[in-house]
Amino acid sequence: MTTWENGNVRFLNEQPNYDLTYNDVFMAPNRSSVGSRMNVDLTSTDGLGTPLPLAVANMTAISGRRMAETIARRGGIAILPQDIPADFVARSIRRVKGAHTRFDTPVTVNPTTTVGEAMNLLNKRAHGVVLVIEDHRPVGLVSPAEAEGVDRFAQCHEVMTTDLTLVGPDASPDDVFQALAERHQKVAVAVDETGVLVGIMTSRGALRTEIYRPAVDPDGRLMIGTAIGINGDVAGRARSALDSGSDVLVMDTAHGHQDPMIRAIGVADKVRTAFQEKTGRRIPIVAGNIVTRRGTLDLLEAGADIIKVGVGPGAMCTTRMQTGVGRPQFSAVLECAEAAAEADGAIWADGGIRHPRDVALALAAGAGSVMIGSWFAGTHESTGAMLVDHDGRLYKESFGMASARAVRHRTRQRSAFERARAALFEEGISQSKMYLDPQRPGVEDLVDFITSGVRSSCTYAGAANLEEFHEKAVIGVQSPSGYEEGRPLQRSWT
């Protein structure tokens, strides 16, 4: 097999003299000694060392406490948006840090909560139940089965089932799975020795707990990151985030290769250094977004550890159509990853992820982790309210972080005139429907889908971990019809 080298990536056929998107490329299989995809280690290569190379984008419509808890339990990390007030960020971080690393946080109500209110809360998580608690102790649960045909003003204690599967906080996933199978129930409720609620776990959750490792900080608590804008009180925001327990600082702006970003990284670096001197822990700084070698090297030199790569590929982004600025994402990741490696840094591939193959291709190109935004918007755990269209399909609204909607929120402290002026210049969609996939309505379902594909990609490449994957992957260039040929058919072609 003849291959052409481009940095650390091998190409099956000669690389064209134009930039490539994820759709433009594919991977060729290699001889492999990796016996099972479950033997593949997906630990990120970005220096964070999260068990999965997945980061949830710092978008207001997507990333919040529920998302952060859930993704961290399965090995990834979520980044809280920069638009959230500092005190709210601090509370969210503390709640994530206080969450159990194995048992999920349930939606809870009290016995006098109405059935209608309980059912409205049901879509906050993917468990399909609402737990009724009294004095911090579980007394029953309500699911759509108990609520069916019941007056919405009835109280939960009137309809709840009290037949609960109770387990201890140290119960193994196998113990939980077996207990639920024997009792033919969906959810196990974990309580401590005094009967106080610890969390819940479904049968599928038990399986996932066995498969995935949580992303935890040195104290064994779930990891979470915080985005900070490059204007305003950068030092104050960074200090508040670190004091609250943030594991990553993400210096975030649409155009990362600019002097204000360089200055903001310097400010955050000083805060980070003071925090390290006090605690002995060095917190990584992520900065972006950029798409060039020069941009990567400049931000790393300024003090960043990880560079966020991507301008224009996101589903909510209109930058390329409005400004002509951006770059096809696969080539941007390829070039920036090579530059970062030369400077002992790393990159996150941010944007353009629509299929598991895109995650695999970004990692093959050298990304240390992959950031996902809009794909995660249509899940139970995203921050938006659950809505129903005229066909009865569930969806959530998403919007770009440079859209007029986001700008209005970000400038809410300014004068009416300044806000109106800022709203004239938007780059991004202000309202988009992100439908829940009936087969994968929760972010964990999507994580299963993604990691299954990436693990298989590694076995095809003959790689036991992501470092080997980047070294061994062979990339080919294909025509649009080549891409279409690989798409599955939902119905017969006749």
Q: What is the pLDDT of residue 4?
A: 59
Q: What is the pLDDT of residue 409?
A: 56
**Percent of the chain scored above 90 by pLDDT?**
79
Q: Are 334 and 7 in contact (CB under 8 A)?
A: yes
176: Cα separation from own chain's centroid: 27
Cα separation, 2 vs 304, whole angstroms: 38
116 assigned ligand-binding residue: no
Residue type, 94: R
| pLDDT confidence band for 318 (50 / 70 / 90) | confident
Which has more confidence, 11 or 424? 11
314 assigned ligand-binding residue: yes
Least confident window among 88-92, 107-111, 385-389: 385-389
Sorted by where each begins, the domain ranges of the chain are 10-101+215-483, 108-205
Phi and psi dihedrals of 250, rounded to 5?
A: -110, 110
Least confident window among 133-142, 239-248, 400-409: 400-409
Cα separation, 307 vs 309, whole angstroms: 6
Cα separation, 107 vs 119, whole angstroms: 10
Task: Read off the tokens for 202.
Answer: 């479904």
Q: Are 134 and 107 in contact (CB under 8 A)?
A: no
Q: What is the pLDDT of residue 408?
A: 54
Peptide bond into 110 cis (omega under 30): no
268: CB partners within 8 A, 6+ apart = 228, 234, 235, 238, 249, 251, 285, 303
Is-catalytic flag, 336?
no
Q: What is the pLDDT of residue 403?
A: 47
List, for residues 215-252, the tens digit of each pLDDT value: 999 999 999 999 999 999 999 999 999 999 999 999 99
Alpha-carbon dihedral angle through residues 268, 273, 278, 281, given to the nearest 10 degrees: 90
Residue type, 192: D
| pLDDT confidence band for 127 (50 / 70 / 90) | confident
Task: Read off the tokens for 430.
Answer: 């202000």
Handedness of CA 115, 118, 122, 123 (dihedral sign): positive
Mean pLDDT (whole number) for 357-365:
98
List, for residues 453-467, the tens digit of each pLDDT value: 999 999 999 999 999
- Could you tell me whether strands 108-109 and 130-134 are parallel, antiparallel, or unpaired per DSSP bridges? parallel
Mean pLDDT (whole number) for 67-96:
96
Q: What is the pLDDT of residue 54?
A: 98
Q: 3-class SS at 4?
A: strand
- Mean pLDDT, all residues of the chain: 92
List, for residues 415-438, the tens digit of each pLDDT value: 776 767 666 666 655 568 889 999
Task: Read off the tokens for 377.
Answer: 């918007």
- Alpha carbon distances (Å) from 463 to 34, 169, 271, 348, 455: 7, 36, 39, 20, 9
254 assigned ligand-binding residue: yes
Task: Read off the tokens for 401.
Answer: 């972080």
From 156, 317, 336, 458, active-site residue? 317
Mean pLDDT (whole number) for 60-83:
96
Task: Read off the tokens for 32.
Answer: 């492999």
Number of other CB atoms surrounding residue 313 within 10 Å: 26
Q: What is the pLDDT of residue 182?
A: 95
The yes-or-no verdict on residue 15 having pLDDT over 60 is yes
Class of 108-205 per CATH? alpha beta
312 assigned ligand-binding residue: yes
253 assigned ligand-binding residue: yes
Which has more confidence, 9 or 117? 117
The yes-or-no verdict on residue 311 having pLDDT over 80 is yes
96 assigned ligand-binding residue: no
Burial call 464-486: b when 16+ CB within 10 Å, e when fewer? bbbebbbbbbbbebbeeeebeee
Cα separation, 44 vs 306, whole angstroms: 12
Nearest one of 476, 491, 489, 493 to 23, comparing CA atoms: 476
List, for residues 364-377, the tens digit of each pLDDT value: 999 999 999 999 99
Q: What is the pLDDT of residue 317?
A: 83
7 assigned ligand-binding residue: no
310 assigned ligand-binding residue: yes
Q: What is the pLDDT of residue 9?
A: 85
The CATH classification of domain 10-101+215-483, taken from the options 3.20.20.70, 3.20.20.105, 3.40.50.300, 3.40.50.720: 3.20.20.70
The yes-or-no verdict on residue 320 having pLDDT over 80 is yes
Q: What is the pLDDT of residue 494?
A: 73
Q: Is the pTM of this model over 0.85?
A: yes
Mean pLDDT (whole number) for 264-279:
98
Q: What is the pLDDT of residue 192?
A: 96
Helices (H), 308-441: 319-323, 329-342, 356-364, 374-377, 404-410, 416-423
Mean pLDDT (whole number) for 163-179:
96
Q: Are 123 and 380 in contact (CB under 8 A)?
A: yes
229: CB partners within 8 A, 6+ apart = 82, 237, 252, 253, 410
